[in-house]
């Protein structure tokens, strides 16, 4: 059954979401964000403690890349804390925002990565058959904001295949439609990836520091500091373009560019490559704890400095 001592399957995560919506039915709703190529519904949880929070919503996504299992584990952990923590800081944060949380953005790929074949464990992309030879597009290169502006490939056999057209991937198209219904209400959009221990700032398509970069950089530094305090885990902070690589067509760039969402971060969780995507289950809880510390700090410091 579901827990943070090991990695959960798509079905276990969905059952867990349903259970939360039943247990906390006054504040939690199971939502259907979109659908994947293979016909799976992309489920999320909406958490709302007050109708007054409608214009300070937070959107969270994880496992847009299938093999990055630690990301949905951390996001479900954070969700559980928002629902059950008695810590006053966490309660205040939870109850002063509306939350849209989608732990598995790429259910087809995620399910595929859970098959027993070793090769499949490293699956990253969608499962759309774009060519006879190779399946899938990179769902974090497929979004319609400066799509095909660097850091992508037009070859279906690469890991960064952008797809034939913007939003060719049903999961991206449908989640973009869903995000559009709440886009103007968002104060924050946080996406979770692994690995390499970074807190990334938009954009990936340009080296320019746009919108509120200075504030978001400072908030990011303080959040990375908070993260390090628990177990000493070191994170780097900077734009996607500058500290990893140029990458266009990501969900985070799309949200930032289309809605000018004030707080947009992408986490690259543990580790630095020792285990990489195969982070041992013993590290789930420590990774989640330190990530939660930084996550809370993002909001505290943003409201403190802005
Ligand atoms: O390349 C990616 O899509 C992400 N790194 S990963 O190793 N997990 O694949 C980083 C994307 C970050 N892009 C934006 N936030 N714009
Ligand atoms: Zn990723």
What are the residue ranges spanned by the domains of the chain? 10-127+142-147+168-305
- What is the DSSP code (8-state) at residue 161? B
Residue to substitute in 144, 152, 250 for testing ligand 1 pocket (most ligand atoms within 8 angstroms of CB) = 250
**% residues pLDDT > 90 (the chain):** 98
Q: What pLDDT is attached to residue 11?
A: 98
81 is catalytic: no
* Banded pLDDT at 239 (limits 50, 70, 90): very high
Rounded distance from Cα 25 to ligand 2 centre (Å)? 32
Beta-carbon neighbours within 5 Å of ion ligand 2:
65, 193
- Using CB distances shorter than 6 Å, the residues near ligand 1 are 65, 68, 140, 193, 200, 202, 204, 240, 244, 247, 250, 252-253, 266, 268
Question: Cα separation of 61 and 31, whole Å?
Answer: 13
138-194, pLDDT tens digit by residue?
A: 999 999 999 999 999 999 999 999 999 999 999 999 999 999 999 999 999 999 999
Ramachandran angles phi, psi of 94, nearest 5°: -60, -45
- Helix (H), strand (E) counts: the chain: 10, 8
Instruction: Considering every ligand atom shown, identify the ligand nearest to the alpha carbon of residue 63 and give its number.
Output: 2
Given a contact cutoff of 8 angstroms between Cβ atoms, the answer to whether 25 and 168 are in contact is: no
One of 3.40.630.10, 3.60.21.10, 3.90.25.10, 3.40.50.300 is the CATH number of 10-127+142-147+168-305, namely: 3.40.630.10
84-134, pLDDT tens digit by residue?
A: 999 999 999 999 999 999 999 999 999 999 987 767 999 999 999 999 999
Given a contact cutoff of 8 angstroms between Cβ atoms, the answer to whether 24 and 11 are in contact is: no
């Amino acid at each position: 059954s579901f827990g943070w001592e090991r990695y959960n399957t798509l079905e276990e995560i969905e059952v867990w979401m349903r259970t939360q919506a039943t247990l906390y039915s006054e504040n939690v709703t199971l939502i259907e964000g979109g659908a994947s190529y293979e016909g799976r519904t992309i489920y999320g949880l909406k958490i709302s403690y007050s109708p007054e929070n409608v214009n300070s919503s937070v959107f969270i996504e994880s496992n847009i890349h299938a093999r990055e299992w630690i990301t949905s584990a951390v996001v479900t952990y954070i969700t559980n804390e928002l629902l059950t923590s008695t810590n006053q800081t966490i309660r205040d944060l939870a109850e002063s925002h509306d939350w849209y949380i989608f732990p598995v953005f790429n259910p087809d790929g995620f399910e595929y990565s859970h098959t027993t074949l070793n090769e499949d464990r490293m699956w990253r992309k969608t499962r759309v058959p774009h060519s006879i030879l190779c399946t899938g597009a990179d769902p974090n290169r497929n979004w319609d904001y400066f799509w095909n502006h660097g850091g992508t490939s037009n070859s279906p056999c690469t890991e960064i295949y952008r797809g034939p057209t913007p939003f060719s991937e049903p999961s991206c198209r449908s989640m973009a439609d869903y995000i559009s219904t709440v886009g103007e209400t968002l104060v924050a959009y946080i996406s979770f990836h692994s690995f390499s221990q970074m807190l990334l700032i938009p954009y990936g398509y340009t080296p320019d520091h746009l919108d509120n970069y200075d504030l978001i950089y400072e908030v990011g530094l303080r959040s990375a500091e908070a993260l390090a305090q628990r177990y000493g885990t070191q994170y780097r902070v900077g734009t996607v373009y500058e500290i990893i690589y140029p990458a266009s067509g990501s969900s985070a760039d799309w949200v930032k560019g289309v809605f000018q969402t004030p707080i947009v971060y992408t986490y690259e969780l543990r580790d630095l490559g020792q285990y990489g995507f195969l982070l041992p289950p013993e590290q789930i809880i420590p990774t989640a704890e330190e990530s939660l510390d930084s996550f809370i700090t993002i909001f505290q410091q943003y409201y403190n400095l802005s």
